[in-house]
Amino acid sequence: MEVHVSEPWIPASSSWCGQEPQLEQFDSHVLPDPDVQSKLKQGKLHCSHSDPAVQDCRGLTALQQDLGDWIAECGIPGIFNATVEDMPKIYAYVVKHYIFLRTAKMIHQFTDGMNAYGKLWDLVMDNWIAFLPLFTNMQEPLSKAAFKAIFRYNYSTRGSNHREAEEDTIFSWEMVLNMIEDKVTELRFEDLLIFVTGADEVPALGFPRKPCIDFYEQEAGQRRLPYASTCAMCLYLPRGITEEDKLHEMLFQATRDSLGFGKV
């Protein structure tokens, strides 16, 4: 049986944006699901049109026995009547199922919903570069400059003893940030951001208010770790820390020992 796009088990509406992608040689390692990767690799290995050594009925029969039900669930019930020559198109369609067709209805529902409000999705499509950060994971590792720019500092009155002790702590804080930037510690800017805000990156439209750094008094003879309020988005540092190694150790322990968001 020769496979055509008009076959009922290979839907004709399979092009993207008016173009027909060539997926017969698609690299399955790009897909995030390791189980799907393994099955696609197995299917391609059994019946690859580029390898004459496996173009026989035994390879196809083994594929149908091992993966036939799974391929049928991808929208290709005709797998059990297919020939070796059909396999490149079947492989391409399974790939298409996992990277497009499987979520197409949900995507259309989302875009139709946005267009219900003043054709908002059409606006996004016409200005897609401007909207790219909202719909695409463009996360890059935070730099020291970008991380510092996130925060404001709640200093005490200038000239007070508290202010002097706070400036000592901030000097050590700067040294810790240098350690992170130079990668001489396992602590990352993202760890601190999660600790303070619950987010591992700055939202595309920024935080609703600027996160802050505040200070607390370290009681004599006590070792109280830095702490944070993710509701207030504020990091509290002890006053009077003059050694960056000490502050680093405290921050490292605070972030690692915290349950945090999604940590156990």
* Integer Cα distance of 225 and 243 in angstroms: 15
Q: Let me know if 231 is a catalytic residue.
A: yes
**What letter would DSSP give residue 143?**
P
Q: How many CB atoms within 10 Å of residue 223?
A: 10
Which of the residues 47, 57, 74, 231 is marked catalytic? 231
Using an 8 Å Cβ cutoff, are 169 and 237 in contact?
yes
| Helix 57-73 × helix 34-46 angle, to 10° | 150
Q: In what order do the strands lie in the sheet with 227-229?
A: 152-153, 212-216, 234-238, 227-229
Question: Would you give the distance in Å from CA 181 to the centre of its chain?
Answer: 22
- Give catalytic residue positions: 231
